[in-house]
Amino acid sequence: MCTDHYTTGSYIARMDLKLVKLISAVGQKAYKQTEGSGRDNTTVMACVSAAGKALPPLIIYKGANLWTTWKIDYDIPGSFYAASENGWMTSAIFQEWMPIGNSNNDVYNIPSTLTRLQQDDNNTQSTVGQDAPQNMLPSNAPSNQNHLHSSGLDRDVLGLAASGYSHSLRRQGVTQLTSSSQSCVSSSGHNPNSPVYNWQATKTTVKERFAFLFNNEILCDVHFIVGRDVQQQRIPAHKFVLSVGSAVFDAMFNGTLATKADEIELPDVEPAAFLALLRFLYSDEVHIGPETVMTTLYTAKKYAVPALEKHCVDFLKSNLGSDNAFMLLTQARLFDEPQLAALCLEMIDKNTAEALSADGFTDIDLDTLNAVLERDTLRIREAKLFQAVVRWSEAECSRQQLTVSPENQRSLLGRALSLVRFPLMSVEEFAVGAAQSRLLSDREVVSLFLYFTVNPKPSVGFLEVPRCCMTGKEQTVNRFQQIESRWGYSGTSDRIRFIVDRRIFVVGFGLYGSIHGPTEYEVTLQVIHTATGKVCGSNNTGFSCDGSNFTFRVMFKEPVEIMPNTSYTASTTLKGPDSHYGTKGLRKVTLDCPSGGKVMFQFSYAAGNNNGTSVEDGQIPEIIFYT
């Protein structure tokens, strides 16, 4: 007989044409366009179906530099099947065999050169060469060859259809033969009246046998029409397997109102999610990713498969971050997953500023917004939280197709606006932010200004309870007893170490300003864990001073948690003119806490470059904190 060489890219397979792997598309129409040179002497390769029926042939051109494009008609649903040494396999098992499509998913571009070289009989082999793939099956011509309507059919290549790209082989620089154009899986070219290929003998365990049946037409007794429009797929299944794995399927097929239909439409389910569910029911394998986890969770809940639900929730937990916490919180509330919701809220508590700045925050619903604003454990300044609430109201106006106006924003916010704790703001923050937003009434603005400036404090109708586990009001520790003039800056950081004896949250520093009158400073604030060098909190900002020797508040973006009996370094890098500075520094300062008890600060010298700041004199006179 004749042995042929087929060249595809960098891989040359020397093979007996009776020992080949077959792959095709079941129930799909396809045609190919071939461009290039050397189109003379075409070779016809027949496709053989599982039943032995000969299908319209695949035509392969001889010559070099051919680029073959396979186009699949997706109006006819179908699945890819392939024969391997283990029997028939579906695309769900051997997805890497499928050719790579372009961005619109309707054209398969297979860039390869396919050349058929006729060899002498002296060079023939009866087995596959060592360089060829090792998982090929025998393939013989079907008995009903009269179905092949192409004259001059090359009998040596009858039944040959090239397999699709193998991703794993391609990663190793090896390319397989291109896929055939017609629907078929060869069952070793058997007679149509003979028994089906004995796939059972190749499976050694029950799990392997059931996994083999996943998304497989063999023995199937029901089909699901899943999804809508162009994404719709027709998926085969087996009622017994589904009933064993799901009480919903059991009732569907075996209950008093069991369906008799051979096809069941599921327009509300995504095909990828339904296949993930079936794969789990057939094989206990979990195939989920970021794009499919939420739809798979929905499908697992719909069909009452709690084990798959847990896998989905565990996947979400392992991928939870501040950038997706609000999105996952919305989904957790929608799917009634309290444990996942609690983890999302914990992530938001610890990384409030980052979570609020993520794109997903403005997409949450009003109930979720209210649930977040009610929390006492958010680690962010109330002024920053108010800015986030304003952004959400603007996005909600757009969703409701309303003009972005203070009236519409307040109407959409409803109770959420009352959950903003305006009394926790400083008077400066309130004056430049909320007071000018026009979201508050004139009466509310006046009452809040009175709250900030007079004693006793009037009732304002907004909560005063501090956030971030802070049980008391804002406090300031001052470590200097005297103020002097002329402290210079050359780009070196002023630094001082401190230890406290109870947990606090640092929200900013009080810094000295210019001795030359009103001035603007640029400043970088940091709190650093002394032992590890880890930056616990930082902010690049600025502040204005009026030339007095008062301190000026410079705040972090969010509170910085300070653990007891742990050394931290307060650091500031100022850019500006000479300033005042403090002297006669204190090593220990003890303050009473509004909630009861005391907090003691111990200050010590920070070795290294510190611009001269020490316990005795320098910058960073004040640390602003909550307990």
Distance CA(476)–CA(506), nearest Å, equals 10
What pLDDT is recorded for position 390? Answer: 97
| Count of CA atoms in the C-beta half-sphere (13 A) of 570 | 34
Q: Which residues contact 458 (CB under 8 A, 6 or more apart)?
A: 447, 450, 451
* C-alpha–C-alpha distance, residues 81 and 100, integer Å: 16
Q: What is the 3-state secondary structure (H, E, C) of 266-284?
A: ECCCCHHHHHHHHHHHHHC
Asked if 14 contacts 132 with a C-beta cutoff of 8 angstroms, the reply is yes
Q: Which of 56, 47, 250 is nearest to 160 (CA)?
A: 47
Q: Which letter does DSSP use for residue 61 in this model?
A: -
Residue 383: φ, ψ to 5°: -65, -40
pLDDT at site 25? 39
Helical pair 306-318 and 338-350, crossing angle rounded to 10 deg: 0
Q: What sign for the dihedral angle of Cα 616, 620, 621, 624?
A: negative
- Whole-structure pTM value: 0.48
Q: Which of 237, 246, 238 is nearest to 306 (CA)?
A: 246
Q: Please report, in angstroms and rounded to a whole number, the separation of the first and last CA atoms in the chain.
A: 89
| Helix/strand/coil percent split, the chain, to 5 | 30, 30, 45
Q: Residue-wise over 119-143: b if at least 16 C-beta within 10 A, else e? A: eeeeeeeeebeeebbeebbebebbe
Provide the pLDDT confidence category of residue 465 given band limits of 50, 70 and 90: confident
**pLDDT of 273-325, one tens digit each?**
999 999 999 999 999 988 899 999 999 999 999 999 999 999 998 999 999 99
Contact of 93 with 76, CB cutoff 8 Å = no
Residue for token pair 């009026």: 546
SS3 262: coil
Query: Residue 342: is its pLDDT beyond 70?
Result: yes
Position with higher pLDDT, 552 vs 11: 552
Q: How confident is the model at residue 626 (pLDDT cuts 50, 70, 90)?
A: confident
Residue of 187, 179, 157, 232 whose CA lies nearest to 31: 179
In the chain, CATH 2.60.120.820 sits at 475-626
pLDDT greater than 70 at residue 452: yes
Per the rule left: phi > 0, alpha: psi between -120 and 50, beta: everything else, 365 is beta
Mean pLDDT over 133-155 rounds to: 31
How far is the C-alpha of 521 from the C-alpha of 312, rounded, in Å? Answer: 50
Express each pLDDT in 236-262 by its tens digit: 999 999 999 999 999 999 999 899 899
Closest CA to 375 of 419, 426, 338: 419
Q: Of 97-101, 277-281, 399-403, 425-429, which gets the smallest average pLDDT?
A: 97-101
For residue 7, CA distances in Å to 58, 174, 178 come to: 17, 11, 11
pLDDT recorded at residue 201: 86
438: left (phi over 0), alpha (psi -120 to 50) or beta: left
Mean pLDDT of 20-30: 37
Q: State how far the Cα of 589 lies from the Cα of 587, in Å rounded to an integer.
A: 7
- Compute and round to an integer the Cα radius of gyration of the chain: 36
Strands 263-266 and 222-226, sheet pairing: parallel
Mean pLDDT of 209-227: 94
Q: Give the model's pLDDT for residue 197.
A: 63
Cβ-in-10-Å burial (0-12, 13-18, 19+) of 500 comes to: buried
Which residues have C-beta within 8 Å of that of residue 299, sequence separation ≥ 6? 269, 270, 273, 274, 276, 277
Full DSSP string of 105-169: SSEEEE----EEEE--GGG--SS--TTS-S--EE----S-GGG---TT--GGGTT--PPPPPHHH
Level-2 CATH architecture, domain 203-318: 2-Layer Sandwich (3.30)
Instruction: Give the contacts of 431 (CB within 8 A, at least 6 positions apart).
Output: 449
Most confident of 1-10, 374-383, 615-624: 615-624
Q: Which two tokens stand for residue 554?
A: 């410079």
Residue 131 has pLDDT above 70, yes or no: no
Q: What is the arithmetic mean of pLDDT over 99-109?
A: 35
Band (pLDDT 50/70/90 cuts) for residue 468 is: low
The CA distances from residue 595 to 329, 421, 469, 626, 627, in Å, are 32, 19, 12, 11, 8
Residues in the chain: 627
Coil, strand or helix at 620 = coil
Q: Rounded to whole angstroms, how far apart are CA atoms 433 and 362?
A: 19
- How many other β-carbons are positioned within 10 Å of the β-carbon of residue 224? 20
Highest mean pLDDT among 117-121, 181-185, 188-192, 206-210: 206-210
Q: Which two tokens stand for residue 467?
A: 């956030």
Quickly name the fold that domain 475-626 has: Jelly Rolls (2.60.120)
Give the list of residues 6+ apart from residue 107 with CB closer than 8 angstroms, or none.
69, 70, 71, 101
The token duo for 514 is 């210019």
Residue 511's φ and ψ, nearest 5 degrees, are -120, 150
Q: How far is CA 173 from the centre of its chain?
A: 30
pLDDT of residue 359: 87
Q: Which two tokens stand for residue 22?
A: 């077959």
Which residues, at least 6 apart from 346, have a Cβ–Cβ distance to it below 8 Å? none
Residues of the chain with CATH 3.30.710.10: 203-318
CA atoms of 365 and 408, how far apart (whole Å): 16
